[in-house]
């Protein structure tokens, strides 16, 4: 088993020694404990050097969590030559009460309604080869930052004024440059933190693509991402009006025509078909189309991938429209990158289920920030601990990892009652034997 002290050795230059010692004590307690991850629970499992007052001081200390996350990823999780993409998503933590910093009402996709709680923006690096997400940045949202940018609907005259006046746009209206947009508070917040992550990584990893959910399927989001030198991969509405670029002759008068035929999702030309397959068991036919199209609300051409599924028994048809601002990105990579975005959801699941993202009971700004970031930090710590073990124990899970640390805690506390401490090899055997009682997956010979 990899020692946590070896994993934390890379943090010596990024944390003051007292804070690093406190972080080590807290991390070991989180790996061994059961129940809710609160300061009181941590102090009960921490043992020597982990009193409640020490735990309290740690959560009230200002820590640069983004730097710690990146140092840990660079040292233990990232390998030179790996292809990485950036991804982002929001996570909502439900909270009751009235005093917690940042407490507001946010829409939760889990509950499908607005709930009281805290909102956080998470930015991660996802390994394309390993299919794993590594959280880097976690920053708290305010209610004003959660609304996605929406176009202001054009004015429609009502009542007696309807139909009066000359046709066309109002006098004095000027053409708008869709590349010069005013970012909403939410997009400004995302852009600021995305820049911070890119500056943190530096020249170690060359990021080219940023993947976000369907809320970013608009021109403002594309321009925001392009301003910092990345390409966006996201999803459009299923009924988006897309047009092929016009390639016909010039009429001889007026501006050059920009938009050609409108895309009919039920009858896409076969020339754009890239792949076709049929699942005989489910009787589902899947066709994948790729094309470069125009959208009247986007400034530039879009690289669009349309996935059309047809039920051969009922003849019902459904489709999904993915897109990227990178016109050279192959359709397989567009689909793969957007599919990889879901790996960030596993980070949220582990942080809530194992590392206390839903458990902390602090209310002030710094402890709330530290509690949320500590939960995401432990996601990377668990990955760093499990990676060397999976060579002999491929099915190792977070539950198995916590079982091992809990077993070591029980064995060590029991051996302290003996008049003499036995040899190290006996302690390792005892820990391995006790760990078998609570493990979920079968361990290898060396475990």
Give the up-direction half-sphere exposure of residue 99: CA atoms within 13 A in the CB hemisphere: 5
Between 73-87, 308-322, 351-365, 405-419, the lowest mean confidence (pLDDT) is in 405-419
Q: Which residue has the higher pLDDT, 374 or 419?
A: 374
**In sequence order, what are the beta bridge partners of 231?**
209
Name the one residue in this structure whose structure tokens are 């060579």. Answer: 391
Find, among 235, 386, 374, the residue nearest to 304 by Cα: 235
Question: For 64-87, what is each residue's pLDDT tens digit?
Answer: 999 999 999 999 999 988 999 999
The reported pLDDT for the residue numbered 143 is: 63
User: CA-CA distance, 318 to 306, in Å (whole number)?
Assistant: 10
In 202-268, alpha helices (H): 219-226
Helix axes 424-435, 398-415, angle to 10 degrees: 130
**In sequence order, what are the beta bridge partners of 180?**
none
Query: What is the maximum alpha-carbon separation in the chain?
Result: 101
Other C-beta atoms within 10 Å of 48: how many? 6
Q: Say whether pLDDT at 151 is over 80.
A: no
Other C-beta atoms within 10 Å of 319: how many? 16
User: CA-CA distance, 343 to 132, in Å (whole number)?
Assistant: 6
Q: Say whether pLDDT at 160 is over 90.
A: no
The DSSP secondary-structure symbol of 75 reads I
Other C-beta atoms within 10 Å of 30: how many? 24
Residue 342 in tokens = 């879901």
Q: Say whether pLDDT at 155 is over 70.
A: no
Question: For 302-344, what is each residue's pLDDT tens digit?
Answer: 999 999 999 999 999 999 999 999 999 999 999 999 999 999 9
Q: Say whether pLDDT at 429 is over 70.
A: yes
């Amino acid at each position: 088993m990899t020692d946590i002290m070896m994993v934390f050795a890379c943090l010596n230059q990024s944390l003051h020694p007292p804070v690093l010692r406190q972080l080590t004590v807290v991390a070991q307690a989180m790996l061994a404990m059961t129940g809710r991850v609160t300061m009181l629970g941590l102090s009960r499992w921490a043992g020597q050097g982990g009193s409640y007052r020490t735990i309290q001081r740690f959560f009230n200390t200002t820590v640069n969590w983004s730097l710690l996350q990146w140092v840990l990823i660079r040292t233990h999780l990232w390998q030179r030559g790996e292809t990485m993409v950036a991804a982002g998503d929001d996570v909502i933590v439900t909270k009751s009460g009235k005093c917690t910093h940042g407490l507001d009402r946010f829409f939760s996709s889990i509950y499908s309604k607005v709930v009281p709680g805290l909102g956080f923006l998470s930015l991660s690096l996802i390994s394309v080869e390993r299919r794993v997400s590594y959280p880097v940045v976690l920053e708290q949202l305010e209610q004003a930052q959660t609304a996605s940018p929406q176009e202001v609907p054009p004015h429609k005259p009502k009542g007696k004024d309807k139909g009066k006046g000359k046709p066309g746009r109002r006098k004095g209206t000027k053409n708008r440059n869709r590349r010069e947009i005013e970012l909403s508070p939410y997009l400004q917040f995302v852009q600021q933190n995305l820049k911070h992550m890119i500056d943190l990584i530096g020249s170690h990893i060359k990021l080219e693509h940023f993947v976000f959910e369907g809320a970013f399927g608009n021109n403002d989001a594309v321009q925001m991402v392009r301003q910092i030198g990345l390409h966006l991969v996201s999803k459009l509405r299923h009924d988006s009006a897309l047009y092929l670029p016009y390639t016909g002759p010039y009429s001889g008068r007026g501006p050059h025509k920009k938009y050609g035929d409108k895309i009919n999702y039920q009858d896409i030309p076969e020339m754009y078909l890239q792949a076709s397959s049929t699942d005989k068991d489910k009787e589902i036919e899947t066709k994948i189309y790729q094309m470069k199209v125009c959208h009247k609300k986007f400034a530039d051409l879009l690289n669009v991938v349309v996935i059309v599924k047809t039920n051969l028994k009922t003849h019902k048809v459904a489709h999904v429209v993915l897109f990227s601002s990178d016109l050279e990105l192959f359709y397989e990579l567009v689909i793969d990158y957007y599919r990889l975005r879901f790996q960030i959801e596993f980070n949220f699941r582990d942080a809530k289920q194992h590392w206390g993202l839903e458990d902390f009971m602090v209310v002030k700004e710094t402890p709330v920030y530290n509690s949320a970031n500590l939960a995401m930090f432990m996601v990377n710590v668990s990955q760093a601990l499990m990676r060397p073990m999976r060579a002999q124990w491929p099915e190792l899970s977070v539950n198995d990892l916590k079982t091992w640390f809990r077993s070591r805690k029980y064995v060590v506390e029991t051996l302290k009652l003996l008049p003499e401490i036995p040899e190290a090899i006996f302690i390792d055997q005892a820990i391995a034997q006790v760990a078998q009682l609570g493990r979920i997956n079968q361990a290898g010979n060396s475990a």
